[in-house]
Chains A and B, each alone.
Chain A
Amino acid sequence: MMTRQHILLIACLLGSLQGLGQKIWTVPAEFAANQEIKLFINIKACECQRLLGTSDSVFLWTWQPSADGDREPQYKNGQWTSSNPSMAMTNEGNDVWSMTMIPTEFYNVDAATIFANDIHCLAKLKDGSGAGGGGCDEDKTEDLMLSIDPPVVGPQKVFSFPATYSKDSLAITADDVFTLVYDNNLEEKESMQNVTDLFVFAQATTMSGRTIRVENLRQVDENPALQMTYKGDGIFHWTIIPNQLYPVPAGDPMDILRLRIIKPNLVNSADAVDGSFDYRFNCQE
């Protein structure tokens, strides 16, 4: 009869076997391309075994998503017979080697390029020549590929472009172009479904805490600058340059933009999208 302990033991064994079979992986397994990760290579799982049990340093050699020439000096491979010292991997024991990196910084490319090209690399000794002739006769692993997929993000009802990179923070100044996007197809509030005309009630808060409004709530629909543009298929855009719309005093820059999406002739909360949407201008010129 199979007990709970037996099932746990089998699960652990299966987990260990899966670990043994994995040549390359990261921690965390899923990540944003601009997030710090640790990339691991398990020599025991590779087909080329010349690095097995080595007491020498092991180096990362990589060519995609960007070539050596496109990377900063500390992230260049160096020569095949003499790897760049900064590409030395960390010995994690048991023939597992690691390299900590922020992919976008390491490869000097944007996130989309990383997702489109994945990471292609191998591990090698400082001089990878070995017995020569290429293949597993050289002091290296075979070519390895780490598939990287973009984080899965569900459709959003309200979002901005550029996107917030951390909570409500934008990597733009209030002199840049900012767009609020609203997808009415995702609206659950019955009174706001199938709308055709929308406005944005916005208030800006400066660094010193001063609040600035362009219009009062009841007069928002009298100002064309606050009207969202209908783009078809239930999508609305509102594009502004915050500092042009809001008369922020000199020396007291804009900190937060708080936005609410409302119908014209607003009567009560039934005429507004639930919630307010905050955007913080974290970088100043």
Chain B
Amino acid sequence: MSLMLILAGCEEETYEFGEPFSKITGITGSFVLTKVVQVDERTTALDNTFDISEFFIGSEPAKLSFNGSDFSYSLQSGTAPNFLGDTLGSWKFDDNDFPTEISLGTSNPTVLKLNRTIREIDQTLEFSVTRSCSGTAGVSYQYVFTRE
């Protein structure tokens, strides 16, 4: 009897986790550009970042919308320079469950490297675009878009 009690006391508790947040649902919607930081990929200086939000966003911030049903997107550059490629097209994650990248466009896609996850509860979509110089990274742009 006492042995049974001991064994019962040692029984493992089990927990059930819910379904993981869908990142496709998370990215569905419209986002407006709120911050841009330029990263110098070649410098040896400790601080290799520079906030260019004021210049980059301008008077008409860029907007990015994703449709999670037909995987289409639209980009309105506004007054920002467009380093994101085509303004209309299709998009995809590199991994729908654990995405690290978003590809915009199909023939010559622009790759956005996710800087954090994007779930329905996340208010910002954060990614980097790297621009090469002579085959290696020259400069990157870290974008922060805020959910509308």
A interface vs B, CB < 8 Å?
Answer: 32-34, 110-112, 115-116, 150-151, 153, 161-163, 165, 171-173, 175-177, 179, 229, 239, 241, 244, 282-283
Contact = CB atoms under 8 A, between A and B. Distances in A.
B50 interface: yes
B131 A161 contact: no
Contacts of A163: 40, 42-43, 45
A151 B55 CA distance: 30
* A interface, over-half SS: loop
B50 A161 contact: yes
30 contacts: A33-B44, A34-B42, A34-B44, A110-B41, A111-B43, A111-B45, A111-B48, A112-B46, A151-B44, A161-B50, A162-B138, A162-B139, A163-B43, A165-B42, A171-B40, A171-B41, A171-B42, A171-B138, A172-B131, A172-B133, A172-B139, A173-B131, A173-B133, A179-B38, A179-B50, A179-B52, A229-B54, A244-B81, A283-B132, A283-B133
B42 to A, nearest CB: 4
- Name, among A32, A162, A172, A175, the residue most crowded by chain B CB atoms within 10 Å (CB to CB): A162
A275 B81 CA distance: 31
B143 interface: no
A172 B138 contact: yes
Given A171-B138, A176-B131, A244-B81, A162 B55 contact: no
B108 to A, nearest CB: 12
Interface string B23-62: 0000000000000001011111111101010111000000
Contacts of B139: 162, 171-172, 176
A260 B98 CA distance: 49
